[in-house]
Amino acid sequence: MANYLDGILGHAIRRPDAPALSLPDRTLTFGELGARLAGIAAGLTLQAVPAGAIVAVAGRRQDTTLLTTLGIMLGGRIALALDPQALPSDRRALIRRSGAVAVLDDDARPDTYACPVFRPEDLPSVGDVAHARHPGGGHPAQILVSSGTTGPAKLAAVSHCDLIERSRVIGLVVGAVPSDRHLPVMNLAYALARLSAIRTLEAGGVVLLRPLPSGVPALLDLLRAERVTGLTMTPSHLRAILDDLGDQPAPALPDVRWLSVSGALLPLADRIAVRRRLTPALHVVYGTNEAGLVAHAGPRELDLAPEGVGRPLPGVRVEILDDAGRPAPPGSVGEIRVASAQMSARYVGADPFAGHRDGWFHPGDTGWLDRHGLLHLAGRTDDRINHGGLKVYPFEVEAVLRTHPAVADCAVFGVPSRERQEEVAAAVVLSGDATPAVLRAHCRTMLPPHKVPQRMLKLDRLPRNETGKVLVRRLREQLFRPAG
């Protein structure tokens, strides 16, 4: 049965001297990388951690996160990568919920967690790859942690087969090649960042791990100096770069072959700016931890539908359901459901897999398919506003607000209303002068009355999580917080 790391191990056999992982002080070849991962797997065996056990990764260094996650999977164990920025109490809670039997952490005391803690440097530095490799197939390889924006984080178990299929389908549309040089900007504790790094290694490319400078000009200088060809970022990363780009020549990243963005929806203005000022090779990817990679919009798809998330990926079925749960015609907004060979089969622990029904996964998003078969997102099903029986989708109000020259960013959400069940509210970040009355008047020129925001919250910035998703619960709390 195939192990998720078989592509990397193939390069260790065929191209052992080719560079694989470039660290600030040294470079690991594919042969050295394979031996290092085998050492981690063998070390866990020596520590009596059985195959099939969940092992948490809590390292603060990028190299620790990547190497230990790969070594755990190579030996047939299940990797649970934890957010290094999370509170220790939150990490301990996830470890308890998951049933992890051990933790690999480069910066922890033995009493930090209620299970054995090992430092990666205490495990053997090398091992025998053939002896360390365990069959994968349908056995779990990773536990992916959801962002938890609508409730407690969920832990989705994904198998070696699931991950192999995710890598295969994205490779068909965003092809990695041996000449690729990928520098992770996102923390490798996040599944999207790990997928890009592993896909680069599978193709025989080089993953570069470097300390990231704090300023945008220095970051761009680093990317150019390292001749980086592949990047994965969140909308928040791209927004920060665009805000501080200054008079950099366009395109500012001429060597980049693919710049992949996922997570929260990247607004149209930012998409246009990225393609014009950073690189024309923008790729928008839509997916979830449970469903895998669902749709992709490369340059061609973005030319057809600049605000869409692209065409369903090979082997992925996407349907839009109306309010009665029936497939809706093209152009109709409704609930999205997905079916593919990438889907996780279960959550870990007591969480019911409520979104998985009759062979379909319901990610909790709404959207529509256009006449080209391209998918567009309308927002979360929980975010859909019921104004006296009339449905309001936040995305359409946000799109109108963003056309006002004083609006730099915005988020629309529903709040309780005695008369109409819910009314429309908006949080706005302004780059110029505009009162709520002015913004409402602007909306009335393009929206019917029931879609015009009745309440507005002015903020310096929208609260977002690490992947760029707006924390709507926090906006509601701020809107109703007593003054003073």
What residue type is 316 in one-letter code?
V
Angle made by CA atoms 77, 81, 85, in degrees to the nearest 5: 160
Q: Which residues pair with 420 in a beta bridge?
A: none
Tokens of residue 201, six digits: 């290694």
Percent of the chain with pLDDT strictly greater than 70:
96
d(CA 167, CA 191): 12
Query: Does residue 186 register a pLDDT over 50?
Result: yes
Q: Using CA atoms, how far apart are residues 371 and 59, in angstroms rounded to an integer? A: 47
Asked if pLDDT for residue 223 goes beyond 70, the answer is yes
Does residue 311 contact residue 297 with C-beta atoms inside 8 Å? Answer: yes
The boundaries of the domain holding residue 365 are: 163-381
**Which of 328, 355, 381 is at the close of a domain?**
381
132 closest CA partner among 202, 36, 197: 36
Query: pTM for this structure?
Result: 0.87
Q: What is the mean pLDDT of the chain?
A: 92
Whether 254 and 348 share a structural domain: yes
Do 352 and 406 have their domain in common? no
Least confident of 65-79, 182-196, 409-423: 409-423
Q: Do residues 254 and 397 both lie within one domain? A: no
Q: Which of 214, 158, 169 is nearest to 191 (CA)?
A: 158
For 330-357, what is the mean pLDDT?
83
**Per residue in 289-318, pLDDT tens?**
999 999 999 999 999 999 999 999 999 999
Q: How is the beta sheet containing 19-22 ordered, strand by strand?
A: 27-29, 19-22, 206-208, 181-182, 230-233, 258-261, 282-288, 292-297, 311-312
Same domain, 1 and 114: yes
SS3 (DSSP) at 165: helix
**Is the residue at 158 inside a domain?**
no
Question: Quick one: 428 and 305 in the same domain?
Answer: no
Give domain status of residue 151, yes or no.
Answer: no
User: How does residue 369 score in pLDDT terms, banded at 50, 70 and 90?
Assistant: very high
**pLDDT score of 181 more than 90:** yes
Q: 410 and 370: one domain?
A: no
What is residue 213's DSSP assignment? P
What's the pLDDT at 381?
A: 84
> Between the CA of residue 228 and those of 66, 200, 232, 254, 271, what are the distances in Å?
19, 12, 11, 9, 20
- pLDDT for 469 equals 81
Residues 214 and 293 in one domain: yes
Query: Any idea what the Cα angle at residue 122 is, between residues 116 and 128, rounded to 5°?
Result: 105
Q: Do 13 and 86 fall into the same domain?
A: yes
Query: Which residue has tokens 């290092």?
Result: 36
Q: Is residue 206 part of a domain?
A: yes
CATH number of the domain bearing residue 319: 3.40.50.12780
Statement: residue 236 has pLDDT above 50:
yes
Contacts (Cβ under 8 Å, ≥6 apart) of 440: 452, 453, 454, 456
Q: Running DSSP on this structure, what letter comes out for residue 236?
A: H
Check pLDDT > 90 for residue 254. yes
Q: Going by C-beta distance under 8 Å and a sequence separation of 6 or more, which residues neighbour residue 131?
A: 38, 42
Q: Is 143 within a domain?
A: no
Q: How many CB atoms lie within 10 A of CB 220?
A: 19
pLDDT digits (tens, 9 = 90+) for 40-72: 999 999 999 999 999 999 988 999 999 999 999
114-118, 365-369, 381-385, 400-404: range with lowest mean pLDDT: 381-385
Same domain as 211, residue 84: no
Is 90 exceeded by the pLDDT of residue 261?
Answer: yes
Q: CA 429 to CA 400: how far, in whole Å?
A: 14
pLDDT over 70 at 350, yes or no: no
The per-residue pLDDT for range 126-175, each reduced to its tens digit, is 999 999 999 999 999 999 997 654 456 789 999 999 999 999 999 999 98
Fill in the amino acid letter for 297.
Answer: A
Tokens of residue 135, six digits: 């069959």
**pLDDT above 90 for 465:** no
Instruction: Confirm if 59 and 65 have CB atoms less than 8 A apart.
Output: yes
**CA-to-CA distance for 59 and 85, rounded, in angstroms?**
10
How sure is the predictor about 348, in pLDDT bands with cuts at 50, 70 and 90?
Answer: confident
| Domain total of the chain | 3
Q: What is the DSSP letter of 383?
A: G
Residue 33 lies in a domain: yes
Final residue before a domain boundary, out of 346, 381, 416: 381
Looking at the structure, tell me whether residues 290 and 331 fall in a common domain.
Answer: yes
207 in Cβ contact with 184 (< 8 Å): yes
175 touches 230 (CB < 8 A):
no
For residue 426, the domain's CATH number is 3.30.300.30
Q: Mean per-residue pLDDT for 236-247?
A: 90
The SS3 of residue 318 is strand
27 within a domain of the structure (yes/no): yes
Q: Are 259 and 311 in a shared domain?
A: yes
Q: What is the mean pLDDT of residues 238-243?
A: 91
Q: Span 236-264, mean pLDDT?
A: 91
- Diameter over CA atoms, the chain: 71
Asked if residue 130 and residue 242 are part of one domain, the reply reads no
Q: Element (H or E) spanning 426, and its range?
A: strand 421-430
SS3 category, 261: strand
Does residue 147 belong to any structural domain of this protein? no
Residues 31, 32, 35, 36, CA torsion sign = negative
Distance CA 228, CA 183 (A): 7
For residue 70, the domain's CATH number is 3.40.50.980
Confidence of residue 87 (pLDDT cuts 50, 70, 90): confident
The residue from 93, 117, 136 where one domain ends is 136
Please give the Cα distance from 229 to 11 (Å, whole number). Answer: 20
- Rounded to a whole number of angstroms, the distance between the first and last alpha carbons of the chain is 62
- Domain presence at residue 154: no
CB 322 within 8 A of CB 199: no
